[in-house]
Structure 1
Amino acid sequence: MTTVLEDSPIHTWLTDMDGVLVHENTALPGAAEFIAALQQFGRPFLVLTNNSIFTPRDLRARLSRSGIELPEAAIWTSALATARFLAEQQPGSAAYVIGEAGLTSAMHDEGFILADTDVEFVVLGETRTYSFEAITRAIRLIRDGAKFIATNPDVTGPSAEGPLPATGAVAAMITAATGIQPYYVGKPNPLMMRTALNRIGAHSETSVMIGDRMDTDVKSGLEAGMRSVLVLTGSTRASEIAQYPYRPTAVLDGIADVVPLVERLTPHEAEELDED
C-alpha cells in the first residue's frame, strides 16, 4: 500500500505524537530520524496532539528529553486549534475555561477574556485537577446560555498507573446535567486537520496524516481529504482495522518505516518542490 501512498507528491506531513513518536516519554524507534529527515529535506510538518494540558514549549521540551528535536512552532495541540477556532467565531469575547496552561495560555494569546460570569463560551479541556466547583459553574453557565466547547472527545488519557478520566468523560457529566452536547474541536474533527494545514500553508491533496488510532487519526485525515498512514505502535492493532468501514492509505509497523518515504525525495527534488 505504500505504492498507493506515493501515487502523487507528498509535500507536507502531519503526525500524531503519542503512540507514533513517543510512548510514555520514550522515543519510539525511528521517531528522531523521521523528524530529522523532514528537516533535512525541508518538508513542512506539524506534530499534532489532542492533549490540551501542555503548551508547545512544554511538549517541545518533553520531546527533546526523548531525543527528538523540533521547534515549538512545529507542534499543534487541540488547545491551540480550539482557541483559533473560537477567535474566528467571536474574537475578543469572554470564556469560562476549565483546563491547564496549554489551554488558558492559548485562549489568552487569541485575545479572550477569561471570566466566570457573563461568558460567551464554556471551554473544557483536560486537567489533572477537575473540581466539583468548576464543573458546577460550567453547568450553570451553559444552562444560562453559554456555548459549550470541548478541546477533544477522548474519554481517558494514559498514565503510568493506568487510564485517567479525560475531557470526554467530564464533558459527558456536564451534558447529563445540561442536556447540551459540546462541540469538539480536536481529532477526529477534521477541523483540527484543516487548521493545522492552514497554519503551514499546506494542501490536503499533497499531505499525509500519520497516526496510531483508526477512530481519531485516520478518520480525521480521511475526512480532511488527506492520505493516511496507520502505524501499529499505539492504540490500534492490525486485527482491529477490519472493524472500521474505512481504511488507511498505508499500514506500517512503525514510524521507522516512514523514514524511507521522506528520504526518497532527494535534496534536488525537494528544492524543486519548494519552488512550485
Structure 2
Amino acid sequence: MTRRDEIECWLTDMDGVLVHENQALPGASDLIQQWRDQGTPFLVLTNNSIFTPRDLAARLRTSGLDVPEESIWTSALATADFLKSQMPGGTAYVIGEAGLTTALHEAGFIMTDTNPDYVVVGETRSYSFDAITKAIRLIGKGARFISTNPDATGPSAEGPLPATGAVTAMITKATGRDPYVVGKPNPMMFRSAMNRIGAHSENTAMIGDRMDTDVVAGIEAGLHTILVLTGISDRSEIERYPFRPDEVLRGVDELVVREPIETEL
C-alpha cells in the first residue's frame, strides 16, 4: 500500500468531493490551489458527459474553485479517447450533448446515422423516442454499442432524473445487447486519465465519495484510494462491501497541508 507522502499525482471526483449543489466543500479550494502551487499533476473526474471541460471549469469557478479546463477529465473525453484507440477516424451515431459530441469530433470521429461504426449514448436532458428507436435499429444492423457511464439516475433539485444507465437499459432490452461502459467504475477511465497527465498507478491516488464507483475502480486500477464522507457513502456503507479504501477522511480539508503557526518564545 502506497503511503500518502509517496503520492505524486492525484485524481479526484467532483460532486460530493469538491462541490455539493454548486457550493465548494470545505478545503476544496485550498487543496486545488495547493496542487497548482506545488506543480502537482492532477485531474478532476466526472461521469457527467453533458458538459465540455470549458463548461465545467466555468461552473466550478462560480462555486469558488479555480480548476483549469485541461485539469478536467469527463466520461465523454474518456469515451472519445477509447474509441480513437479502437478505430481511428471512425463514425458514430450519438445520443448526447455538446460534451460528448465535441469530444468525439476532436478525436476525429464523424457523426452520422448511416451505418455508423458505433452507437454512443451519453447524458442528455432531451432524450427522444425517435433517437432511441434509431439507436436500436442501428445496433440491430451491427453498430457497436457504447455508453459513457452506467449511472441510472442523476440528481436534481426536484429529485432523481433518469440518466444514461436508464436509457441504455431500454436499448439493451430491445436489442439484447449490453453496452461497453467506459466511465466509472470501469478502471479504464482512470487509466486514460493517468495517461493524460503522465501518471503511474504506483504513485497516484484517487479521492472519491462512492464505494461502488470511485473506490472499487481505484482499487482495480492499482491506485491509493481515499474515501471522503462528504458525499454518497458513509462509514456504515463501507461495511457492505468486501473491499476497503486505503483511507477514510472526513473531507478533502484533511488533505490540505497547513503551515505551522510560529509563536514567539
Determine if the TM-score, normalized by the shorter chain, exceeds 0.5: yes
1:236 to 223, 230, 233: 233
1:42 to 39, 59, 72: 39
- Alpha-carbon distance in structure 1 between the residues aligned to 2:237 and 2:2: 21
* Residues 21-79 of structure 1: CA deviation (Å, up to 9, x unaligned): 00111111111001001111111000000000000000000111111002110000000
SS of residue paired to 2:239: helix
Instruction: Output the amino acid matched with 1:92.
Output: G
SS of residue paired to 2:58: helix
- Deviation of the 1:5 alpha carbon: 5.5
1:201 to 198, 203, 211: 198
- Deviation of the 1:190 alpha carbon: 0.4
- Alpha-carbon distance in structure 1 between the residues aligned to 2:122 and 2:211: 22
1:259 to 251, 256, 259: 256
Structure 2 residues without counterparts, runs of 5 or longer? 260-265
Alignment partner, residue 115 of structure 1: 112
Alignment partner, residue 103 of structure 1: 100
CA contact (8 A) 1:20 1:28 kept: yes
Alignment partner, residue 125 of structure 1: 122
- Alpha-carbon distance in structure 1 between the residues aligned to 2:162 and 2:187: 24
- Deviation of the 1:160 alpha carbon: 1.1
- Deviation of the 1:258 alpha carbon: 1.5
Instruction: Output the amino acid matched with 1:67.
Output: G
Structure 1 residues without counterparts, runs of 5 or longer? 265-276
- Deviation of the 1:10 alpha carbon: 0.5
- Alpha-carbon distance in structure 1 between the residues aligned to 2:239 and 2:2: 19
- Deviation of the 1:201 alpha carbon: 0.4
Alignment partner, residue 262 of structure 2: none
* Residues 125-182 of structure 1: CA deviation (Å, up to 9, x unaligned): 0000000000000000001100000000000111111111000010100000000000
CA contact (8 A) 1:96 1:123 kept: yes
**Runs of 4 or more off by more than 2 Å in structure 1?**
4-8
CA contact (8 A) 1:103 1:125 kept: yes
- Alpha-carbon distance in structure 1 between the residues aligned to 2:96 and 2:151: 14
- Deviation of the 1:12 alpha carbon: 0.2
- Alpha-carbon distance in structure 2 between the residues aligned to 1:224 and 1:193: 7
Does 1:165 pair with 2:162? yes
- Deviation of the 1:7 alpha carbon: 6.1
CA contact (8 A) 1:5 1:250 kept: no
CA contact (8 A) 2:121 2:148 kept: yes
- Normalised by the length of structure 1, the TM-score is 0.92
- Count of residue correspondences: 259
Alignment partner, residue 219 of structure 1: 216
- Normalised by the length of structure 2, the TM-score is 0.96
1:141 to 138, 141, 146: 138
* Residues 69-94 of structure 1: CA deviation (Å, up to 9, x unaligned): 02110000000000010000001111
CA contact (8 A) 2:2 2:202 kept: no
- Deviation of the 1:6 alpha carbon: 2.2
CA contact (8 A) 1:8 1:206 kept: no
SS of residue paired to 2:6: coil
Instruction: Output the amino acid matched with 2:198.
Output: G
Report the RMSD for the aligned CA atoms in angstroms: 1.1
